[in-house]
Structure 1
Amino acid sequence: MAYKIAFFGTKPYDEKSFNKVNEDYGFEIKYFKGHLNMNNIVLTQGADVVCVFVNDTVDADVIKAMAENGVKLLALRCAGYNNVDLEAAKGRLTVVRVPAYSPYAVAEYTVALMLSLNRKIPRASWRTRDGNFSLHGLMGFDMHGKTVGVIGTGKIAKILIGILRGFGMKILAYDLYPDYKFAEEAGMTYTTLDELYHRSDIITLHCPLTAETKYMINEDSISKMKDGVMIVNTGRGQLIHTNALIEGLKNKKVGYAGLDVYEEENEYFYEDKSDKIIDDDTLARLLSFNNVIVTSHQAFFTKEALRNIANTTLQNIKDFEEGKPLVNEVK
């Protein structure tokens, strides 16, 4: 019999992309709109696999209950796994993930944020819709010749660097494991974090969230940056201490911020809250700045990425079912 998959946090686009790809796999998928937690853990009974995304709760209690319900595999349809208690999963559940959806999608979106902030495109669009064709307050700067500091130089960052080099920008980078061969080919320079903070006109974050990188953008690091620096984050929300960023925006040290992620995003991102008051004071404060763009963790969101997510997730499940090596296992 085909494996049964309990799929949580379902959106219409998830169901559409997974159903299409599942035509080649033949799994039995039950879709649930709610996020996985202890209140709906009963829905995992009878499932061989539970499939979750970034806002599902997979703590020790949930893992224990899933295992008791007969679940064999936890399939993350995302790259990050900081919402999973891996220690609790050890010996109970195998965990697999999708390490990359489309690095082009995230790299291109990062550039879109930079350009939108610099040239104030959202504000210009709102104005002209109201019949205001004034250019006052819309001045930007040439990207050409400016210095970008790239923190983390994985697949996404390398594609981004190629795009930014096309603008004629100077690239500084920091990574715990520098790729000097790539640096030479790309015409970029690895440097220290302090040097990167000091010299960069734009800083963009592409590193994983770890104990070492949590809140790496904080009051101290912001104080080392150029006045009016642009900070872009399409990585993980907790790379930035949001209150420190707000202080930097208030005192004009930070000139622009483009955030596709937010450290407390679970309550809001991917949901329609337009008929409710935002009671997260920090998020509300961020949204009040006209030099800040906040989007709902959508950098990955392209047709190609959704197809890759579905293909990799279902192949992970098939490999587990057939006892094959799990190239995307999280240990």
Structure 2
Amino acid sequence: MTVRTYYRETKDGRKVVYVDYSIDGNRKRERTVMFYHSQPKNSSEREHNKETKKLEEHFVSNLTLKIQSGELGIQVSKHKNKNFIEFFSYLTQKRESTDKNYSTWRSALKHLKEFCPDGLSFKQMDKHWLEDFKHFLSVTQGLKSSSANNYFNVVKHGIHDAFRERLIPIDFATLVSAPTVEHAIRVFLTQEEIQKLKETECKNPILKKAFLFSCMTGMAYADIKKLEWKDFRKDDEGNFFIDFHRKKTKGLQNHPISKEAREFLGVASKLPNEKVFRELNYNSWMNMQLREWVYSAGIQKTITFHCARHSYATLLLHKKADITVVKELLGHNDLKTTMIYAKVMDIDKRNAADLIHFGI
């Protein structure tokens, strides 16, 4: 359903405002009483045009609301799910088989039930309710900004679906913005620190090898864990690649790696379907082993496995690699995600600038 306006010139130099919209498939065009001066000659006519613009916007908004609420003939359909939480549960269940953000929807449903323990009828829902839910996620639940943003957006998605199903008269989700994501500063290792780790013994050799390989390639833990020997490819010019589907985005990635990274893994198994990092199972115990290894190398940073990927990206930018190339290597869909690493470099430069003191 779209409401739009258009104009027709009159002989006396005016542009009359017409409106075009449809109800239940029937298109309607009507002339309004609003008009513009085509070529305003003085301040009075220019002021008239400004006021008419405001009136036109208000008219379109008001007409849209009337159509959505059924005042002009459209009725909100009956549906067996009178309760939004039941409807949202149904939408969540549909995603289980496709694995499309299912865990995010399931978590959002959990918070939704906590916010509305007595259920939530469609009649109770409006813009103010959604603003209260936003506050609940961000403040009451104390979630990370990224988590609050993700859960809020899937609930908004559910509201969009409810509107399309005509379970609610107005899509008020368009009126409330999602919680702002505050990007945390990425922790990364310098090239010298990675070299220290290479020279330091780790209680878990497989973990050490996988972590250093991630530093050299930027591959995430989930992709390294399922990496098989058949995924490696060498072209006619001697360049090495890894062909794999990223677990997070499901997209196919032809990932170039250095000769050093490939040789670091040693001789390939004769079994092409064999995992490269067998018995790699990153859990709380392995995370503790990782931190012990880092501290043994004399590195005073709180490091997780994912920091290897951060280090890869940051070092590439430090070596003046083009940020769009880094975006492709990391498999990011949005350049804004990659820009976070550029901000880390800016902070690093700022800290470096403060190292010199002349005592002036």
Fold match by TM threshold 0.5: no
TM-score, normalised to structure 1's length?
Answer: 0.23
Higher radius of gyration, 1 or 2: 2
Which structure carries more relative contact order (alpha carbon 8 Å, separation 6+)? 1
- From the two aligned structures, give the one with the greater helix fraction: 2
